[in-house]
Structure 1
Amino acid sequence: MSLTPSLVPRETLPQGVLSGLCAFLGYALGVLLDWIVTYLQLPSLQRLPRWVRVSGCSGSGAIGLACLYHSEDWQNAVRSVMNMAPVDGGHPLKIFGVAIVVCAILLAIGRSALWLARRIDRQIVRFVPRRLAMLSAYLLTGIVLWSLANDLLVRNVFRLLDSSYRQLDARFEPERPQPLASGKTGSAASLIEWQKLGRAGREFVASEAMPDDIARLAGTPAREPIRVYVGLPSGETVEDRARLALEELKRQGGFERTYLVIVTPTGTGWVDPASMDALEYLTGGDVASVAVQYSYLSSPLSLLAQQEYGSETAKALFSTIYGYWTGLPKDKRPKLYLHGLSLGAMNSQISAELFEMLGDPVQGALWSGPPFVSGTWAWLTRQRATGTPERLPEFRDGRLVRFMNQQGFSVPDERPWGSTRVVYLQYASDPIVFFDYRSFFRRPDWMREPRGPDVSPAMRWYPIVTGFQLTLDMLVAAATPAGYGHVYAVSHYVDAWHATLGLDDWSPQRRAALKAHLSSLQLRPNGGG
């Protein structure tokens, strides 16, 4: 069942690991059931006739081989939806080899744990009844293994990963020299040192759209966009980094632009260039963007190990920028927007407290690929209008919040907006958005409804297995082509930003030309995380 299609394509190694894990769990479940039967003094499964046991093993093996045979077609069913090349003919054999190794390692660990439990049981049984001793031995073994895994393995792994990501973040790329213009973040005149921007920060400030390119496509004069970024080493505390971002934004004249966007990056500090390019071209460069780094780890790891860091930084930056912005004359200040991708979307939603803005709200927000744990997104999805799908819900009359995917918005374009516009850009094939812990034991709503355009119709729900499939899908969700999974295409960002900003000077024909131009520029790897 682990070989059947899921949301995103899987390469040989992750698929083999998943299949080996599921094979081990199936075997472990059988061992557990047999132990329960024996413990309850019921007739053991081992007493079944030999031919029944042999037939059962042979039938299981035949089913496994049949699924392995079809695994190539199943993977290609997912890849064809995303216009990806099919897997090679040796795909099933490679999966089988990896799965056998993984299953054998897990079996060795499991049997070592049983050996330890039996040794403990022999010591305890001299003092307590036999069955109580057995239960105590298994409980103590579980505590010992959990402590070893958590204290020795998990903490050391996270420490090693944090150190590795930190070193990667500090590495300089020769193709990105320090800016010479004094108005740039990281220049000699900047309040933020080039060396302390970090890898993602240097990419962010050095890859902004050029005014000549924007003007050539827009057909009107353009300004040079402003990008402000503060790396983790630039300040001791989140408050220090937020104040530094404000001062650098003021120094560059960010509050004199028509649009100001507070960007919350992903876990590694990365900001999606597809989104920023779409924003800067649509606004004619008359926009300033500001972001502050909060972690070196990728988004999944940051969510597990440093979840509070992202929300604290996002809140501090928003509070600092918003506090200064509200003190400016309303007719002379920029329109203020929020933006974030993935973990950045979740933390950006947390940063802006509704009751703090009731008297002076921001103009809108664009959140793409919000993780399934995003509280605001989850509540809005649960409160969707009756009959609308989970993958593309409608919230009330659509005046405040609208959802969109590759095919557009959940409500007609002609429906009027309110004074604040919030847009969620999400793909049905994005497991980071649509994972649910309950998928282990309950079919999710998005699998009961008509599938999204990017989800294979061959996908089916299986207890336990589908939960593990979606878990693995989250780890490889950024390995898809742009426009699928967790990789958001610049063409969809164009429509999302156009709606969020409420622009009326970009006709569908001009937007189509912009999408074609930006798509040709976006032939660069996804550095997100």
Structure 2
Amino acid sequence: MKQRLANYWDSFSFVGLIVATLFFAASLTPSLLPRNYWVQGILSGFSLAIGYGVGIAALTLYRFFELREPSGKMQQIAKRLTVASVAVVSVAFVWRMTFWQNSIRERMEMPRLETAYPYRVALIAVVLAVILIAGGRLFVRCGHFISGKLQRVMPRRVAHAFGFTTAILLVLFLTNDVIAVGLLRSADAFFLNLDQLVDDDTGKPTDPMLTGSESSLVTWETIGRQGKEFLSGGPTKAEIAAVTEDEAMRPIRVYVGMRSRPTAQERAELALRELKRVGGFERSVLIVATPTGTGWLDPSAVDSLEYLHGGDSAIVSTQYSYLPSWITILVDPRRSIESAEALFEVVYSYWKTLPKDTRPKLYLHGLSLGSLGSEVSADLFTIFEDPINGAVWSGPPFPSQNWKLIVQNRNEGTPAWLPEFRDRRILRFTSQRNALDTGAPWGPMRCVYVQYASDPMVWFSPDLAWNRPDWLGDRRGPDVSPHLRWYPLVTLLQVAFDLPVATAVPLGYGHNYSPSSYIDAWIAVTDPKGWTEDQTEALKAMFESRETPKP
């Protein structure tokens, strides 16, 4: 047994192990969000395995070109120096783990760690890496086995090409059509069941003018968990009046769930009929809101808008998915776009037929995947004749093409995490600190992006594997660790592992947008009448004192 283990260890590539160790060390450095030792261990395990694969690939390519290799004595000396250097680097990086994690936590007002549990991280990483590398070796053996059989009927190089191509296709079939589909179906079933669960205190509305009531066109049982929480939540008329110290109205909220109608178009048409039934077009402000992947609308965003306008508002939304945004965005981001386009088209088509002096001001809103759909729902050529009034988008995800184009063409000298675009009359960006009140005049349409420098949903991109991102320039965001560095492939993994925990941080960081940011954005975009600075501070203080639920 001991000999077999020794032989197994000797079968590993020296170059592969060296590169794997360097990848492991790099994975210990900070990324956008803090990590516990389990997440760090899994991330480092993937880094180890990928690093080993990169080392093997580099060595294979080197030998393919038949480049000169060091002599026996020189090779031994080089190995010893390399091992010593890599060992020093690895120990140093492990020692700095806790310091690096605290450099993020301090910026996010989180308690410092006494230790990041480096030994636990290393153990988890090694075990996972061994499993992954064993899987990779099985793949290589499969390729060799197939090519060996093919060499009986075709040349050796051709057999190798066909053998490994067949092995790759087999792996893709297993991972995409078997494993991935199975996991996706399980996730879809889980979140579908979760969508149907509602707390006992979320009862069916009794007021006939509320969506989901007996008189509503939308059946309460089909709305879904997030929709029911949206409809039953929000400030009351009395609560708004207490903050604004003025007369208030009860805000109007309309929501159509996925089970209310089978298609996005049918859900949009139902939402329009319900919006007209409850008097949504008789309010001063109308918001067409696109929810996140789970159907969630952030209370920080919608509640603050209703306070600012004394309840004289209507918000309409339709659900398009049960899955969290970070899953939906990888599986089918078109869901958000199709839903947003359908809802905007039916609402806008009716809105533009109303008299301009009596119809509500029309705005768009979306968070995360909702931002992706919302930003393209209002086609420019459609609204040139009769423009809407503006939009507030937060946490725009990385596939957002409009957002990406704007950031790439930002004014020279402005950072990617807080860009300025042209003369800022139509579009502005803001972050934790209000960057909207510049003294420059707004145009007739006002649009705002709220984005945080520490939000992985915004900054993840496949090209992180080979390109140093702009957001890691000399001027980085206040919530990003100064010790964050870009490493090929590793940084891509780090930010990818940040995605599932993007909201597991305090308000005002990551993908967890604070009421304060929304309040500043809505004030800039909707310009509520008679609103004062004192009221703004009071509203922010009120939101800070309450716990805002997460999706």
TM-score by length of 1: 0.96
Is 1:132 the counterpart of 2:158? The answer is yes
Structure 2 unpaired stretches of 5+: 1-25
CA shift in 2, pair 1:511/1:412, >3 Å: closer
Q: Residues of 2 paired with 1:434 and 1:421: CA distance?
A: 24
Please name the residue that 1:426 is paired with. Answer: 451
Please name the residue that 1:437 is paired with. Answer: 462
Is 1:474 the counterpart of 2:499? The answer is yes
Q: Secondary structure at the match of 2:392?
A: strand
Q: Secondary structure at the match of 1:338?
A: strand
1:390-446 C-alpha deviation (Å, 9 max, x unpaired) = 11111111110011111112x643211111100111111112112232222121112
1:322-368 C-alpha deviation (Å, 9 max, x unpaired) = 11111111111111100000000010012110110111111110000
Q: Residues of 2 paired with 1:414 and 1:56: CA distance?
A: 58
User: What's the C-alpha RMSD, in Å, of the aligned pairs?
Assistant: 1.6
Q: Residues of 1 paired with 2:487 and 2:213: CA distance?
A: 55
Q: Residues of 2 paired with 1:359 and 1:157: CA distance?
A: 47
Counterparts of 1:408-427 in structure 2, within 5 Å, are: 408-409=434-435, 412-427=437-452
Q: Secondary structure at the match of 2:429?
A: strand
Q: Which amino acid aligns with 1:467?
A: L
Please name the residue that 2:549 is paired with. Answer: 525
Counterpart among 360, 377, 385 of residue 386 in structure 2? 360
1:101-140 C-alpha deviation (Å, 9 max, x unpaired) = 2111101101111111121121122233323322332222
Q: Residues of 2 paired with 1:31 and 1:324: CA distance?
A: 62
May I ask how many residue pairs the two structures share in their alignment? 525
Is 1:374 the counterpart of 2:409? The answer is no
Q: Residues of 2 paired with 1:524 and 1:402: CA distance?
A: 26
Structure 1 unpaired stretches of 5+: none
Q: Residues of 2 paired with 1:152 and 1:197: CA distance?
A: 32
1:225 Cα offset (Å): 0.5
Counterparts of 1:76-475 in structure 2, within 5 Å, are: 76-89=102-115, 91-409=117-435, 412-475=437-500
CA shift in 2, pair 1:102/1:389, >3 Å: same
Contact 1:299 1:343 in 2 (8 A): yes
Is 1:501 the counterpart of 2:543? The answer is no
Please name the residue that 1:488 is paired with. Answer: 513
Q: Which amino acid aligns with 2:488?
A: P
Q: Residues of 2 paired with 1:277 and 1:199: CA distance?
A: 18
Please name the residue that 2:58 is paired with. Answer: 33
CA shift in 2, pair 1:58/1:120, >3 Å: farther
1:289 Cα offset (Å): 0.3
Q: Which amino acid aligns with 2:308?
A: L
Greater shift in the superposed pair: 51-60 or 396-405: 51-60
Greater shift in the superposed pair: 42-51 or 382-391: 42-51
Q: Secondary structure at the match of 1:143?
A: helix
State, as a whole percentage, how many aligned pairs show the same letter: 42
Please name the residue that 2:82 is paired with. Answer: 56
Is 1:21 the counterpart of 2:68? The answer is no
1:14-72 C-alpha deviation (Å, 9 max, x unpaired) = 21111111111111122222223343444567956445434433432332232112111
Q: Residues of 2 paired with 1:212 and 1:59: CA distance?
A: 68
Contact 2:191 2:322 in 1 (8 A): yes
Q: Which amino acid aligns with 1:267?
A: G
Contact 1:34 1:44 in 2 (8 A): no
1:292-319 C-alpha deviation (Å, 9 max, x unpaired) = 0001111122122222222111111101
Q: Residues of 2 paired with 1:46 and 1:352: CA distance?
A: 67
Q: Residues of 2 paired with 1:389 and 1:110: CA distance?
A: 41
Contact 2:299 2:548 in 1 (8 A): no
Q: Secondary structure at the match of 2:27?
A: coil
Q: Secondary structure at the match of 2:543?
A: helix
Contact 1:37 1:44 in 2 (8 A): no
Q: Secondary structure at the match of 2:97?
A: helix
1:70-102 C-alpha deviation (Å, 9 max, x unpaired) = 111111111111011123425212211221121
1:504 Cα offset (Å): 4.7
1:508 Cα offset (Å): 2.0
Q: Residues of 1 paired with 2:84 and 2:440: CA distance?
A: 61
Contact 2:291 2:318 in 1 (8 A): yes
Q: Which amino acid aligns with 2:407?
A: T
Contact 2:287 2:363 in 1 (8 A): yes
Q: Secondary structure at the match of 1:372?
A: coil
CA shift in 2, pair 1:515/1:423, >3 Å: same
Greater shift in the superposed pair: 33-42 or 63-72: 33-42
Q: Which amino acid aligns with 2:37?
A: T
Structure 1 runs (4+) greater than 3 angstroms displaced = 37-52
Greater shift in the superposed pair: 15-24 or 119-128: 119-128
Q: Which amino acid aligns with 1:259?
A: V
CA shift in 2, pair 1:128/1:40, >3 Å: farther
Q: Residues of 1 paired with 2:278 and 2:417: CA distance?
A: 41
Contact 1:124 1:133 in 2 (8 A): yes
Contact 1:277 1:518 in 2 (8 A): no
Q: Which amino acid aligns with 1:525?
A: P
Q: Residues of 2 paired with 1:436 and 1:240: CA distance?
A: 34
Contact 2:300 2:548 in 1 (8 A): no
Greater shift in the superposed pair: 488-497 or 25-34: 25-34
Greater shift in the superposed pair: 217-226 or 14-23: 14-23
Contact 1:436 1:444 in 2 (8 A): no
CA shift in 2, pair 1:381/1:33, >3 Å: closer
Q: Secondary structure at the match of 1:478?
A: coil
Greater shift in the superposed pair: 25-34 or 511-520: 25-34
Q: Residues of 2 paired with 1:130 and 1:241: CA distance?
A: 59
1:389 Cα offset (Å): 1.4
Q: Residues of 2 paired with 1:53 and 1:218: CA distance?
A: 72
